[in-house]
Amino acid sequence: MIRIIGILAGLFFALGVLWSFVTGAFTAATEGFGEETAEHAFHEHPLDLELSSDGPLGTWDVPQLQRGFKVYQEVCSACHGLQYVAFRDLADLEYTEAEIKAIAAQFQVPGIDPDTGESVLRAATPTDYIPSPYPNAVAAAAANNNAIPPDLSLITKARHDGSAYVYSLLVGYSAIPEELKAEFPDFSTPPGLYYNRYFPNLNLAMAPPLTSDGQVTYEGGSPTIAQMSEDVAAFLTWTAEPTMAERKAVGWPVLGFLLFATILAWLAKKQIWSSIKPSRKD
């Protein structure tokens, strides 16, 4: 009885889903799989980016992180905050306590006037988090043509291949390619948006932030746009996971110990079973 009900139920679901399949296949046969879109044809995967933090042995390149922080501070911080990174965390970048205090004091955070209780802006201290320049999301949207600049703390973990994505986006601005115009005459970049081949729908709301070599002054040199982009991508890799170097440093001894213990366990298992393990040969 249970098997008859089972067979009937099985046929019900199988035929039900095959009905979906047949209608789907019929639609596909008569109308095709849908049209190719400009986003699908011209969106590119991020460029290869090699950072010292890559790989199981990778660790931070502190001077690069410092350069990246400089780019963030002078360029990105005009629109983007780092709400999960406190100024005190910059100690990882080998800034001294006094330097961190001075850096924090350059940022304004919301506070309360101790005499009147009114909301005011005060200079940040090392225990504060790196603020967004906008008091709230509505203000951010209003100031940016309705596109809210995302917080950058986790941006490299919040995108596929995040570090390379940030780098590619910064160097990926261009005019609309001629081939795209030829293939998709309807495609356009609306005013206030910018063509960028590494952005999923090709039209990015962020104006090109790095526009000229030497926009940020490095000690002893004027960096290229690519150099600045790489440095800030490295910095944002750090902000997304400041504990990465520690994680890898702990990982190796853990794996080493486990390997040792597992070999011992295997020898013990072999030894214990040897007394009863018969051979098939006889």
Partner 1 sequence: MSFPWAQAYEPKTGLTKFLDERLPLPRFVYNAVGAGYPVPRNLNYMWNFGVLAGFALMLQIVTGIVLAMHYAPNALVAFATTEHIMRDVNWGWMMRYAHANGASFFFVVIYLHIFRGLFYSSYKAPREMIWLLGVVIFLLMMATAFMGYVLPWGQMSFWGAKVITGLFGAIPLVGEPLQIWLLGGFAPDNAALNRFFSLHFLMPFVIAGVVILHIWALHIPGSSNPTGVEIKGESDTVPFHPYYTAKDGFGLGIFLLVLMTFVFFLPNFLGHPDNYIEANPLSTPAHIVPEWYFWPFYAILRAFTQDIFFIPAKLLGVLAMFASILVWFFLPWLDKSPVRSGHYRPLFRKFFWFGLIPTMLVLFYCGGAPAEEPFVMLSQIATAYYFLHFLVILPIISSIEKPQPLPYSITEAVLGSDKKPVLGENASPAV
Partner 2 sequence: MADTTGTATTEIPVRQIDDTADDGVRRRDFINIAAVSAGGVGAVFVLYPLISQMAPSEDVLAEAVTEVDVSAIEPGQAIKAVFRKQPLFVRRLTAAEIAEAQAVPAGSLRDPETLDERTREGHLDMLVTMGVCTHLGCVPLGAAEGENKGEYGGYFCPCHGSHYDTAGRIRKGPAPTNLLVPEYEFTTDTTITVG
Residues that bind partner 1 (CB under 8 A): 2-3, 6-7, 9-11, 13-21, 23-25, 28, 33-34, 56, 84, 89, 150, 153-154, 157-160, 162, 200, 240-243, 246-248, 250-252, 254-255, 258-259, 261-262, 265-266, 268-269, 272-273, 276, 278, 280
Choose which of 15, 118, 276, 280 interacts with partner 2 (CB under 8 A). 276
264 binds partner 2 (CB under 8 A): yes
Question: What is the sign of the dihedral through the CA atoms of 23, 25, 26 and 27?
Answer: positive
To partner 2, the closest distance from the beta carbon of 90 in angstroms equals: 12
Which does residue 160 bind out of partner 2, partner 1, none, counting CB within 5 to 8 angstroms by kind?
partner 1
To partner 2, the closest distance from the beta carbon of 23 in angstroms equals: 55
CA within 13 Å, CB half, 203:
9
- 192: which 2 tokens? 């206030």
Which of these, 203, 181, 180, 217, lies nearest to 74 by C-alpha position? 217
To partner 1, the closest distance from the beta carbon of 211 in angstroms equals: 28
Q: Is 214 helix (H, G, I), strand (E, B) or coil?
A: coil
278 binds partner 2 (CB under 8 A): yes
142 binds partner 2 (CB under 8 A): no
Q: Which is nearer to partner 1, 116 or 274 (CB)?
A: 274
Render 33-102 in DSSP notation, one character per residue: T----HHHHH--PPPP---TT-STT----HHHHHHHHHHHHHTGGGT--EEEEEGGGGGGGT--HHHHHH
CA angle 209, 225, 101 (to 5 degrees): 70
Report yes or no: 231 and 51 within 8 Å, Cβ to Cβ: no
To partner 1, the closest distance from the beta carbon of 51 in angstroms equals: 16
Q: Which is nearer to partner 1, 18 or 120 (CB)?
A: 18
271 binds partner 2 (CB under 8 A): yes
- Rounded to whole angstroms, the Cα distance separating 282 from 63 reads 69
To partner 2, the closest distance from the beta carbon of 96 in angstroms equals: 15
Which does residue 243 bind out of partner 1, partner 2, none, counting CB within 5 to 8 angstroms by kind?
partner 1
Which does residue 158 bind out of partner 1, partner 2, none, counting CB within 5 to 8 angstroms by kind?
partner 1
- Rounded to whole angstroms, the Cα distance separating 114 from 166 reads 41
Which of these, 212, 204, 215, 211, lies nearest to 169 by C-alpha position? 204
Choose which of 43, 88, 122, 248 interacts with partner 2 (CB under 8 A). 88
To partner 1, the closest distance from the beta carbon of 263 in angstroms equals: 8
Which of these, 191, 195, 213, lies nearest to 204 by C-alpha position? 195
Q: What are the residues binding partner 2 (CB under 8 A)?
A: 86, 88, 126-127, 257-258, 260-261, 264-265, 267-268, 271-272, 274-276, 278-279
